[in-house]
Structure 1
């Protein structure tokens, strides 16, 4: 794999986050109208239809056993994460929902310790305390605003989604070592779509004609974002790219205000700042080796 500068990898990842934030707007609208399960299912199907022909036309070899195992595992993990996230996002302001996902890079450090044998540094423990204070501040904002039950459940769902997303970040880094960005994006959509189709008769319905353009646009944006992030994570360490996740807060605040008329409370802003500070403190000076897969070892 040809080496690139950390700046280029960071820039590509930033584009991926901006693209994903735009997709969030479409997916929130679809989730409100038809439910998160249905929105994620049909976006995944559209993603397969979009990327499948490109994969075949390029005559790419079929993934090996190690790559298929990673694709299946990350597809399932990402599936749980994304359904929980969009279910919650349909019930809370975008900026608040995205702020809670910022816990993922911090949680990923603990997954790396458990799965990759990395040492949990003192900075990670301190960062955890600071980030936890940020979550409590956001929760205090909900109490102060007398948030509805749906609002509280939405926040809990997004918090749970961040845990699964953290694990998917570890898997993404491993995927990027054995597969190119197109393969990663395609097989994630294949696995996710196949799993969701199992429950479709009970939890989903067919989209309306008016919804298909939104689904198609979400699939395009999601695929571009997935390939950009896979490309970046394949060429730079997670510690270099982790801060780029925080740019999503600015995008979500702007797009949430523009499209849904949402405002960002002082509690959410302060909580997000504490979470970001905690994550920065946790990864500062951390120089862990890239995760290795069986194929890469």
Structure 2
């Protein structure tokens, strides 16, 4: 049972990790006007491997990332790559706050996949939270205003692929470690990014190279902090801190693009956050969930 200091450390690390992740997302949005999504995928994943290599070295080197399920990791890497590319493409059309709000529908899709792939039972409380969460997504989408054509479909796909990757990790948690999932997912994303960007390469100025490097570093720092956070404290305790990304997303929208969150975005985000936290609380019996870093 983690003590109070471990829980505090986990919360601080997760909060700091979300700051770094939000900065990375802002840089991704900035780079979408200059280079292709596969290029962004490669640089984010390549530099994201650095903190994972450090963690692996500290935990025993090659043995720490040993896997018995290479095919599972291949599938999960593919899902993660699709999620990130869709996130990148969608950011060309949508604000950070809206994009993150829709992406946070992932826990609700995860419930559905848990039923289909793991045979889990869904009680009244989870069904209620699921419906409320989807209601929050609908509020953010504002379908009557035609926002469904403004990139939101990409973020719904992000939520679906991310959720499926999470459930796959949970399904095989008895044989695979969290570090092995994170390491091989990031390695697979790097390889997929390297291959695909050969067909979608766009010239990069020195400034763009600098932003790409910064994106990877911030993403790597976020990955390290989030990994250390779930090592220090239970996932159900630290995961709600992920929703602070909505605040940072809205702040960066205002600072860099002079975009202010609409009332529907604020209301829908609050509903999504409340529903997601409730689902996490109901699933507190799961001691470890694996994150796509």
Question: Are 2:107 and 2:279, in contact at CA under 8 Å, matched by a contact in 1?
Answer: no
Task: Note the 1:1-297 alignment, pairs <5 A.
Answer: 3=2, 5-48=6-49, 50=50, 60-61=61-62, 63-66=65-68, 68-69=70-71, 71-140=73-142, 143-144=144-145, 147=147, 152-170=149-167, 178-179=176-177, 186-290=183-287
> Can you give the 5+ residue segments of structure 1 that lack an aligned partner in the other structure?
none
TM-score (norm 2): 0.82
Per the alignment, do residues 57 and 135 of structure 1 end up closer, same or farther by CA in structure 2, a change over 3 Å counting? closer
Taking the aligned partners of 1:228 and 1:215, their CA distance within structure 2 comes to 20
Taking the aligned partners of 1:196 and 1:202, their CA distance within structure 2 comes to 10
Q: How many aligned residue pairs are there?
A: 285
Per the alignment, do residues 190 and 175 of structure 1 end up closer, same or farther by CA in structure 2, a change over 3 Å counting? farther
Deviation at 1:18, TM superposition (A): 1.5
Per the alignment, do residues 228 and 113 of structure 1 end up closer, same or farther by CA in structure 2, a change over 3 Å counting? farther
Taking the aligned partners of 1:292 and 1:255, their CA distance within structure 2 comes to 29
State the SS of the aligned residue for 1:33: coil
CA RMSD of aligned residues (A): 3.2
Taking the aligned partners of 1:56 and 1:285, their CA distance within structure 2 comes to 32
Question: Are 1:127 and 1:279, in contact at CA under 8 Å, matched by a contact in 2?
Answer: yes
Deviation at 1:277, TM superposition (A): 2.4
Could you list the per-position Cα deviations for residues 132-163 of structure 1 after superposition, in whole angstroms to 9, with x for gaps in the alignment? 221222222x644x65xxx7241110111011
Deviation at 1:11, TM superposition (A): 2.6
TM-score (norm 1): 0.81
Deviation at 1:31, TM superposition (A): 1.4
